[in-house]
Amino acid sequence: MLQGNPMTNTTAKNPGVFRRNAPIAGEAEAIEAARSGDPDAFAKLYALHKRRVYTLCLRMLGNVSEAEDMTQEAFLHLFRKIGSFRGESAFSTWLHRLTVNLVLMHLRKKGLQLVSLEETINPSEEDAPKRDFGSRDPRLTGSVDRVTLERAVASLPPGYRLVFILHDVEGYEHNEIATMLECSTGNSKSQLHKARLKLRDILRETAVVNEGAV
């Protein structure tokens, strides 16, 4: 660990995984009932997970209409295939993975071919974050609230946004992301780093504008 340095253990091993694995009251019973086709159980599972699934779709797609379509597809897929859920992972993990895969399939159908995905998620050089040699900047620490960050993430180039959401928000590891995006783990790491650099630029600009407005 880097002692006396900000890059210490504030990033625990994938905390997002633990949070998305948290048990939900009534979920296990609803899953069992849904396997038998109980309509109330479907409604319960939808109510429990609709916001997470929809938010994930919206962040990945950046479009309300498409996000609602993919939310619908994810739950339809879930209800039709719930018999194949074996309980080897948390239900929410299984559902979110299913959702991510459906969204990625949708994106590929829109033009991001599997083979070329690695190149197509690379933004142009103009979009690439600049290196940070010698500049002096305002500190971000303590200055970024949820709404500001949400807006900044939404403004990222799609390729950066995908990897940032999957890794830093949803808690997937680089090897999982590489499999999902059919790219190398090195590419996933590189995209994530560029995403964070780009976010830093956006958030610093926002901070400067906000300071000027005061």
Partner 1 sequence: MSDSNSNHKILSCAEFQEQLPDMFTQEADSDLHEQPELRAHLATCTNCSSLVRDLEYIADQARLLLEPTLEPSPDVWSNIQSKLRKDGTDGKSN
Give the footprint of partner 1 on residues 119-158 (CB under 8 A). 131-137, 139-141, 144, 146, 149-150, 153
Tokens matching residue 106: 């949708």
Q: Work out whether 102 is an interface residue with partner 1 (CB under 8 A).
A: no
Q: How far is the CB of 85 from partner 1 (least distance, A)?
A: 15
Question: Which residue, 109 or 146, has its beta carbon nearer to partner 1?
Answer: 146
Contacts to partner 1 from residues 25-64, by CB under 8 A: 37, 39-40, 42-43, 46-47, 50-52, 54-56, 58-59
Nearest to 197 by CA among 116, 107, 133: 133
Q: Which of 97, 106, 108, 196 binds partner 1 (CB under 8 A)?
A: 196
Contacts to partner 1 from residues 76-95, by CB under 8 A: 76, 79-80
Contacts to partner 1 from residues 161-180, by CB under 8 A: 164-165, 167-171, 173-175
Q: Work out whether 193 is an interface residue with partner 1 (CB under 8 A).
A: yes
Q: Give burial (CB, 10 Å; 0-12/13-18/19+) of 193.
A: middle
CA atoms within 13 A on the CB side of 94: 16
Q: How far is the CB of 78 from partner 1 (least distance, A)?
A: 10
Q: Give burial (CB, 10 Å; 0-12/13-18/19+) of 153.
A: buried
